[in-house]
Each structure stands twice: as C-alpha cells, then as structure tokens.
C-alpha cells in the first residue's frame, strides 16, 4: 500500500475513532474459555498466483501467521475448521446451480468442485486428522453450514478467524459469528484481500462493531494459556 493511501487511511481512522468512541463503539468482546480457529478460504484458488481470487500478502504474512496459530491449537487440543468454497454446477445458464445468484457479481464459476486442486486447502497449512474441512457456498462460513452446531457441541465460546477476504468472507463470518453468540476475534496479520486499503479499512470497522482485532502474538499466547 503506497504511503499516500496509508496517510489518508490513518487520518480517516483517527477521525472515525473519535466519533465511534464518543458514541460508545469499539467496546471489547474479549477472549473466552474455549477457542476454535476458523481459517476462511485459505485454499489454492485464493492463496496461489494466477487465479481471479488470488490475494496479497499470502506468502510473507498470512501463511506464516496461520502456521503459528495451528501449532498452538494442535499443541493444546483446540478445534480447527478449514473453510473453503466450491460449486458442483458451474454452468451459469443452469437455473439449478448451487452458485445461486452470486455468479452474477463475481467469478465463482471458476471454482469447480471437480477440480479439487482449486478448492483444496493450501498444503502449507493443510488439515491434519481430526480437523474439519467445511465447504461453503456463500460468503459467510455460517450461512447454510453446520459450523455453529459443530462449535456449540464442542463447547466453543470464542472463534479466532483468519483468511480472505477482509471485505467479504472473513467479514461476514465474523458478523455471523457474533450473531450466533460466539466471542469473535479477528487475527490481524492473518487476514488478507486483493484491493489496497481493503484490509486496513475493514479491520478498523470490524473492530468497532463486530469483533476484537488482535495480533497473532496475542492470539498465540491466548491459545497456549487455555487447554482444550
């Protein structure tokens, strides 16, 4: 992100912070007693080059951060859910497609379930035995899936969310997670997007309204401090 855009965002955030805090926003939801890690769309179509959905800062920031979170979860027996997106019927002319109407806005038709390499979780953060791989059809990881029921059955009260994109699937997952009654934590360094400034603005706004934005260091410390 270039310096001028960064300066503009910093000014906007400073002004918005004054407004939000004066009106009672930016409260803390806090960490709970039983966490789970939700990695949203960290699959090859989003993490590897050459795809319409390819995001920035994957190799240098997001994957290393998620690796640290995974290590802490696995060492302390915390649930992990790897979320991905794909479709069985990618013919845009077929009225019975599982893409719904979303293909009229974005090229979800490229993520065909028949090509597993596209929607497979990035091998650098690949699931291990006992971790969930959840396929969603819409932006939110909760919409039309078993995620909330799975988390409640496991006794989870806190979700740490990573992935892409800040402006869509991560944001809607956090919004729905809070609506479903979970303490929502967005892991700052582990959330990405394609558009300059999108991560910064969305995390600022999410922190004011829907989740606590916390550093990967603090989240790793938290995961180590509670036992699964």
Active site residues: 169
Please give the Cα distance from 33 to 174 (Å, whole number): 18
Contact present, 122 and 48 (Cβ < 8 Å)? yes
* Residue 188 · residue 161 · CB < 8 Å: no
Q: What is the dihedral of CA 91, 93, 94, 98, to 10 degrees?
A: 60
Helix H, strand E, coil C: the string for 114-169 is CCHHHHCECHHHCCCCCCEEEEECCCCCCCCCCHHHHHHHCCCCEEEEEEECCCCH
> Which residue, among 170, 190, 215, 161, has the nearest Cα to 61 in the 3D structure?
190
Contact 77, 228 (CB under 8 A): yes
């Amino acid at each position: 992100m270039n310096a001028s855009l960064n300066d503009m965002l910093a000014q906007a955030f400073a002004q918005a912070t004054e407004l939000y805090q004066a009106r009672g926003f930016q409260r803390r939801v806090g960490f709970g007693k039983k966490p789970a890690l939700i990695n949203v769309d960290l699959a090859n179509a989003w993490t590897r080059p050459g795809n319409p959905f390819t995001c920035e800062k994957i190799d240098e920031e997001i994957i290393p951060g998620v690796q640290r979170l995974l290590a802490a979860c696995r060492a302390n027996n915390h649930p992990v859910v790897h979320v991905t997106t794909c479709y069985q019927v990618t013919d845009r002319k077929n009225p019975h497609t599982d893409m719904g109407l979303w293909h009229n806005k974005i090229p979800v038709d490229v993520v065909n379930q028949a090509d597993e390499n596209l929607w497979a979780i990035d091998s650098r953060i690949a699931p291990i035995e006992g971790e969930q791989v959840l396929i969603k059809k819409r932006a939110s990881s909760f919409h039309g899936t078993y995620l909330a029921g799975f988390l409640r059955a496991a006794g989870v009260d806190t979700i740490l969310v990573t992935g892409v994109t800040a402006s869509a699937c991560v944001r809607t997952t956090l919004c729905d997670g809070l609506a479903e009654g979970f303490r929502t934590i967005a892991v700052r360094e582990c959330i990405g997007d394609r558009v300059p400034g999108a991560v910064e603005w969305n995390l600022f706004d999410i922190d004011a309204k829907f989740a606590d934005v916390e550093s990967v260091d603090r989240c790793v410390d938290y995961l180590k401090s509670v036992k699964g």
